[in-house]
Structure 1
């Protein structure tokens, strides 16, 4: 799995543009939380690039302001850990904690 790092608010405009071409995943990770580490590990173990989702990783401890901007930009409540699936500039799916599942993400892409 090749993560793209999300470290700057300006990248959110780029993500919106990219999501017109392919679905984009944002994974908001707390490096201080064991649940977040477990969710990240499960996602990485089950990941397949063949689905065509471009993954972004946000270390929300280091980039807390970016995490807040993600929540505001895409109209979701902040959670940690959290995944957001962005397509055509909009968040079409989000999940947090142990609800984070690659199989569920795949299903969301197929149905759109």
Structure 2
């Protein structure tokens, strides 16, 4: 068994797809409209779904925003250089909500960015 995807409900699908593809560098892997169910699914990720965990963006017709609640934490993405990645994200118009630097009470370098719906994405330095 393995994790296939994480689903996020989004209020503006084109804006969300643009964020994940243009700002975070993922690829739009597939998108399917379900008019009878009044929703559209878009899957984004860094590689093929057969070998990688991806993010499912779900747009429900007519819903522009969601209360994120207190239970959601974040999605974590590994990158070699958190500082350079944040500079790239900022230059592309992304929102950095925690500047890069060592984690509290540790040495791991991390940062947080926020997508158009307010979901937080942690950037972790990995070798």
TM-score (norm 2): 0.28
Normalised TM-score (structure 1): 0.30
- Structure (1 or 2) with the greater helix fraction: 1
More strand by share: 2
